[in-house]
């Protein structure tokens, strides 16, 4: 991708560093893991403050929007 990010939204330099070095301090708070099951979404983040808190709040808000609970009818 020309944006410098891979298909998962991770910047290529950060992705390379993660692949090469693993969890190093300078990459703190740069990745989110989502764990999904039938009725629950769990976020795994380094910090619950700042930008990560804003991201979690935005996702929670979006998920609570009623439009996401409308089932699509089969065509």
Which tens digits make up the pLDDT trace of 13-59? 777 888 888 878 888 877 788 888 887 888 888 888 888 888 888 88
The residue extents of the domains of the chain are 1-28, 32-75
The per-residue pLDDT for 1 is 41
The per-residue pLDDT for 38 is 81
User: What are the backbone angles phi and psi of residue 33, rounded to the nearest 5°?
Assistant: -110, 135
Residue 3 has pLDDT above 60, yes or no: no
Please choose, from the candidates 27, 37, 70, the residue with its C-alpha nearest in 3D space to the C-alpha of residue 10: 27
Sign of CA dihedral 49, 15, 39, 57: positive
The per-residue pLDDT for 5 is 62
* Angstrom distance (rounded) from CA 41 to CA 37: 7
Query: Encoding tokens for residue 18?
Result: 């993660």
Question: Is 32 within 8 Å of 52 (Cβ atoms)?
Answer: yes
DSSP H helices, the chain, are 12-21, 50-64
pTM above 0.85, yes or no: no
């Amino acid at each position: 991708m020309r944006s410098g990010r891979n298909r998962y939204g991770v910047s290529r330099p950060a992705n390379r560093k993660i692949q090469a070095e693993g969890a190093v301090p300078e990459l703190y708070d740069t990745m989110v893991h989502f764990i999904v099951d039938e009725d629950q979404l769990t976020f795994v983040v380094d910090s619950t403050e700042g930008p990560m808190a804003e991201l979690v709040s935005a996702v929670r808000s979006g998920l609570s929007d009623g439009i996401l609970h409308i089932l699509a009818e089969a065509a």
